[in-house]
Amino acid sequence: MKIRSRIPNITLVQNHIIRFKWFYLAGTLAIIGLVIFLSLYLTSINNDSSNGSPIIPIPPVPTTTPSSVPTTTPVPTPKPPTPASGGVVQVQEWGGWATTTKDSEPPLWPGAGTPLSFDLQKILNHGSGNKLGSIKVSASGEVIDVIGTMGTAIPWALFSKIFGFKTRTEFLATVIDSCAGRNNIPCCILVQPINKYPDEIAPLPATSTNSAFPMVNNLCTKNSDCISINDSNITATHNSGIKYPAYLLVPFQGCGGDCSTLFPDCFNSCPDVQNVVANLNYYTQCDKTPANGCQQIKWLSDNNWAMTSGIEQQFYSNKNAFFAISEKSSNGRNMTAAAASSPNNGHINYCSGKNMHFDVQLLDGANPYWCNLAVSADPNNSISLPSNGSSTRGGPIDNTIVRYMLVPGNIFGNFNILADGDNPPKYPLPTPGCGGASGGSNRCGTGDWSKSICPNPTCSQTSDCTSLSKGFVDCYGASGCT
C-alpha cells in the first residue's frame, strides 16, 4: 500500500500564501475605501445642511451679556428674517393690522436723569425718508420696498403683552441693541398702509402677533367678504394706483392714550409713573393701591395686560375716552360720533392696548413719510382714523390703518440710536422690585391736572416741553416735581 506523504508540497503552499496576501490586501483596501466614502458622504450631508439662507449678519452677543429676551414669551415671536437672492430680505408674513396716529416729541426719550435714552434724530437719520432695501413676503410672493425710518410710541400695555418687557430699561436696552446688531430680537416694526377697515380683515391665526388681541382679531365674520392681511390687494394706493411702500418704525416711547380731563394720558399722567416704569407690574406684584390716575394700569396688569370688555367698560365708567376700535366708533367707521359722545368729549383713546397701535413720531410736527407720497390720494383706497374728524375712505392719511410685522432693528444694517453721552446697555439689567423709584413722577405742567400731581410745580419748562402741541407738558427728569 502506498502511503501518502505527510511532507507538504512547498510550491503549493507558497501559492496559497501569495493568494492569501492578495486577498488580505484587497480586503484592507476595500475597508479603507469604505471608510473614506462614508467620511466624505457624512461631510457632504453636514455641508448641505448648512447651505440654507444665511441669517442677517449680526455680530454675536458677548458671552458675558445675557439676552434681554424674557424667560417666557406671552405671544408667538416671529423668526428673524433672512436675506433672499438679490439682496432682498425674505420675511414670512404680516403679523396683523394696526391703527396709527402722528405725534411730535422732544428728540430724546426718556431724557435727562435716565441711564439710557433714545435719540429720535438718529432714528430718522437711518434712511432719512429714502429706500433702505426691500422685503419679499413668502405668504404672497410680493417684493416691497422699505422706506426708513420713523420713531413710534406703542401702547404701554403691549410692552408686557407682546414683548414681555418687565421694565422700561429692558425695553430701551433691547431696542438699542437690536438696532446696533447686538441681538436679533424682532422688536422693531415694518408697516404698510392698507385700504380696509378692521372688520373687513380676515381673522389671523394663533401664530400671528395679532392673535394677542382677541377682542378685535375676529371682527370680520362674513368669510366671503374677509380679505387676508397678506393679500396684495389690501395695500393702499396713491396717484392712480401706485402702491404705498413699507416703512421701518423704531419704538421710541410708550403711549397710554387719551384718558380724562384731569389725567390726559392713561399711563403717562399717573403720579406713580416712575415706580411703574421701574416695574411694569408694580401694582400687581407689590400689592400697591394705585394712586388716583393710575387705576387703569392696575386693571390691566392684574389681567396680564390683556384688554377685556369688562376692563374697557371700567375705563368708560371712570370718564375716560372711548377706544378707537370699538362699538362706539363702529370699529373705526364713525370716529366723529365716537369723539362727540366720548366721556372725555372730543377725545378718542388709540393707545389702550386693545389693538396694536403706532403713534408715529417725527420732529417739528412733520407728517409720516407716507403722506409725502399722497400728492393725489386714490379715492376709496386708504383708511384714515383721525381723532376728531370723519373717517371716510381716502382723504387725509396721516392716521391711516396699516399692516405690520415685527423685525430686528438692523434688518437693513446696524445703526446707533443711543443718545450722545449715554453708555451702551450693561447687563444684567436691574431687577424689577417693589421699593419704588425716587423722585415721584418727575412731571409738571400748566394744566389743571398737574396741580393734583405737583401741588407746587416749580420745575422750569424747557424749550422741548413748551414746543409740544399738547395741552399738557412732559418734563422727564425735571427738578422740583416730587
- Would you list the domain boundaries of the chain? 82-258+347-437, 440-482
Average pLDDT over residues 58-86: 40
C-alpha cell at 332: 373705526
Q: Which of 97-106, 241-250, 279-288 has the highest mean pLDDT?
A: 241-250
Question: Does 267 have pLDDT greater than 60?
Answer: yes
126-140 tens-digit pLDDT: 999 999 999 999 999
Average pLDDT over residues 171-184: 94
Q: Which residues contact 98 (CB under 8 A, 6 or more apart)?
A: 191, 355, 356, 357, 358, 401, 402, 403, 404
CA distances from 386 to 290, 379, 432 (A): 31, 17, 37
Of the given ranges (43-47, 240-244, 470-474), which has the lowest mean pLDDT? Answer: 470-474
Average pLDDT over residues 216-237: 92
Question: Does 231 have pLDDT greater than 50?
Answer: yes
Question: Does 461 have pLDDT greater than 70?
Answer: no
% of the chain exceeding 70 in pLDDT: 68
Give the whole-angstrom CA distance, residue 343 versus residue 317.
8
CA distances from 383 to 20, 196, 217, 266, 395 (A): 88, 6, 18, 26, 8
Of the given ranges (49-53, 109-113, 151-155), which has the lowest mean pLDDT? Answer: 49-53
User: What is the structure's pLDDT at 444?
Assistant: 33
Closest CA to 251 of 364, 118, 375: 118
329-366 tens-digit pLDDT: 999 888 888 999 999 998 999 999 999 999 999 988 78
How confident is residue 30, by pLDDT bands cut at 50, 70 and 90? low
Contact 356, 98 (CB under 8 A): yes
Average pLDDT over residues 50-67: 31
Question: Does 295 have pLDDT greater than 80?
Answer: yes
How confident is residue 394, by pLDDT bands cut at 50, 70 and 90? low
Give the whole-angstrom CA distance, residue 207 versus residue 205.
5
Give the whole-angstrom CA distance, residue 273 versus residue 260.
16
CA distances from 179 to 125, 160, 394 (A): 13, 20, 34
364-387 tens-digit pLDDT: 878 889 887 766 667 677 787 765
3-state secondary structure of 298: helix
pTM of the model: 0.76
